[in-house]
C-alpha cells in the first residue's frame, strides 16, 4: 500500500479508506513516519523488496514439520550467515552496521497495536448496534442510520462514516448482553417506541399489557423483545399468542422468554381457540352442523 503513495495521497486505482486509516493508525501507534516509494519507480522499490526475496531464498526448497522448527532454522541462518556477510552495496558487515543503528532504535509500545475487524451496522430502535450478538449504545440521534464499527476481542469502536470520528468505545460484552452509556439513554420516550407499543395493543389486550411490562422493566433495551413478541404473534396467530400472554401475566412472568417457551410447549392445536369477534361462532358449531347434514343425507 505504501509503495503506491504519491505526494502523500493514495493512488486512486487502489484507494481503500479502511486500509488507509489502518496504516495511519499503525504508524501513529509506533511513533514512526512512512517513507513511501514513488509510483512506478522500480529502482527505488527494489531496495525495499529485495530483503524479502533474500529471506525467502534462505528456506527455498525446505520443509518444516512445525513453525518452531522453521524459526530455529532462520535464527541459526541469521546469526551464522546473514549477519556476518558483507553487504553488496555498502561493502560492510551487516552485524556491524546494525550495532551502530541499535542505540537509536526506540522501544516498542507497552500495549500492542489493536487489529480490528470492520463492518457496518444499522442503529436499532433501542439506540444500539449489534456486534456478534451483543449490543452497544450510540449517541442519540442516530436511529435508523448506518455506522462504521470496529471490534476486536477487547473493545468495540463506533465511528461516524462521514468524518471517521470516534462516537463510542465499549468493552466487549457476552452474547445477548447490552452495554449502554448513561448519556446515551433517551430523556423522553421516542415516538418510534410509542408506535411499537401501540401496535402491540392492537394485536391483543394481554399482548399489549405484556409489552408494557417489558418496557417498564427494561426500558429501551427491551425494544428487541417487544418486537420479538409481535413476531410470535405473526408466527402463531394473535389468538394463540393472546392466550399465552394472558397466562404469562397471570403467573407473574411477563417476559418474552417465558412467552416463547410457553408457545413452544403448548402447540396451537392444544390451546383453547377463542373467536376474535362474538358474532363469529365457535368451530365446534360448524363441525356439529356438518355431521348432522351428513347423517341426514346418508339416511
pLDDT tens digit sequence for 54-64: 888 889 999 99
In the block, residue with C-alpha cell 343425507:
297
Question: What is the mean predicted confidence (pLDDT) over 284-298?
Answer: 70
CATH code for the domain in which residue 137 is found:
2.40.50
Spatial neighbors of 52 by CB under 8 A, at least 6 apart, are none
Residue 99's domain comprises 2-104
Q: Are residues 215 and 179 in the same domain?
A: no
User: With left for phi above 0 and alpha for psi between -120 and 50, is residue 24 left, alpha or beta?
Assistant: alpha
Name the domain boundary from 63, 81, 104.
104
Question: Which tens digits make up the pLDDT trace of 147-156?
Answer: 999 998 889 9
Angle between helix axes 223-236 and 205-218 (nearest 10 degrees) is 160
Distance (Å, rounded) from C-alpha 291 to C-alpha 298? 11
Q: Are residues 78 and 15 in the same domain?
A: yes
Question: Which tens digits make up the pLDDT trace of 218-253?
Answer: 887 888 899 999 999 998 888 889 989 998 899 888
Bigger pLDDT: 75 or 6? 75
Distance (Å, rounded) from C-alpha 142 to C-alpha 285? 54
Q: Are residues 141 and 200 in the same domain?
A: no
Q: Are residues 83 and 147 in the same domain?
A: no
Provide the percentage of residues in the chain whose pLDDT is more than 90: 30
Q: Are residues 68 and 15 in the same domain?
A: yes
What DSSP string describes 133-193?
Answer: TEEEE--TT-TT-EEEEEE-SSEEEEE-TTT--EEEEEE---TT-EE--GGGS-SS--HHH
> Is residue 112 assigned to a domain?
no
Cell of 48: 525495499
The number of domains in the chain is: 3
Name the domain boundary from 104, 138, 173.
104
Name the domain boundary from 104, 133, 153.
104
Backbone phi and psi for residue 136, each to the nearest 5 degrees, phi listed first: -135, 135
Bigger pLDDT: 173 or 40? 173
CB 254 within 8 A of CB 222: no
Q: Are residues 177 and 233 in the same domain?
A: no
Cα-based distances in Å from 254 to 15, 172, 173, 192, 229: 52, 29, 25, 22, 11
In the block, residue with C-alpha cell 439513554:
185
Distance (Å, rounded) from C-alpha 276 to C-alpha 266? 20
Bigger pLDDT: 113 or 1? 113
CB 202 within 8 A of CB 173: no
Q: Taking all residues of the chain, what is their mean pLDDT, rounded to a whole number?
A: 81
User: With left for phi above 0 and alpha for psi between -120 and 50, is residue 143 left, alpha or beta?
Assistant: beta
Amino acid at each position: 500500500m505504501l509503495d503506491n503513495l504519491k505526494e502523500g495521497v493514495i493512488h486512486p486505482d487502489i484507494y481503500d479508506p479502511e486500509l488507509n486509516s489502518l496504516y495511519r493508525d499503525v504508524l501513529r501507534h509506533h511513533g514512526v513516519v512512512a517513507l513511501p516509494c514513488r509510483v512506478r519507480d522500480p529502482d527505488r522499490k527494489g531496495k525495499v523488496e529485495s530483503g524479502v526475496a533474500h529471506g525467502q531464498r534462505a528456506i527455498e526448497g525446505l520443509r518444516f514439520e512445525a513453525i518452531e522448527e522453521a524459526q530455529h532454522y532462520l535464527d541459526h541462518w541469521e546469526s551464522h550467515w546473514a549477519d556476518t556477510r558483507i553487504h553488496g552495496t555498502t561493502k560492510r558487515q551487516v552485524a556491524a552496521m546494525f550495532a551502530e543503528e541499535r542505540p537509536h532504535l526506540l522501544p516498542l509500545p507497552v500495549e500492542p497495536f489493536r487489529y480490528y475487524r470492520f463492518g457496518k451496522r444499522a442503529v436499532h430502535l433501542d439506540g444500539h448496534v449489534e456486534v456478534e450478538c451483543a449490543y452497544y449504545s450510540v449517541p442519540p440521534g442516530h436511529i435508523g442510520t448506518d455506522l462504521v464499527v470496529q471490534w476486536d476481542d477487547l473493545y468495540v469502536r463506533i465511528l461516524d462514516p462521514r468524518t471517521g470520528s470516534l462516537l463510542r468505545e465499549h468493552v466487549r460484552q457476552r452474547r445477548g448482553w447490552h452495554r449502554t452509556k448513561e448519556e446515551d439513554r433517551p430523556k423522553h420516550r421516542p415516538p418510534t417506541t410509542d408506535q411499537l407499543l401501540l401496535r402491540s395493543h392492537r394485536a391483543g389486550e394481554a399482548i399489549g399489557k405484556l409489552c408494557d411490562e417489558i418496557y417498564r422493566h427494561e426500558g429501551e433495551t427491551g425494544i428487541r423483545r417487544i418486537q420479538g413478541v409481535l413476531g410470535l404473534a405473526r408466527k402463531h396467530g394473535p389468538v394463540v399468542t393472546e392466550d399465552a400472554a394472558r397466562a404469562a401475566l397471570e403467573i407473574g412472568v411477563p417476559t418474552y422468554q417465558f412467552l416463547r417457551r410457553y408457545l413452544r410447549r403448548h402447540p396451537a392445536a392444544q390451546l383453547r381457540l377463542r373467536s376474535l369477534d362474538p358474532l363469529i361462532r365457535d368451530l365446534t358449531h360448524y363441525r356439529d352442523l356438518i355431521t348432522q347434514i351428513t347423517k341426514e343425507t346418508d339416511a
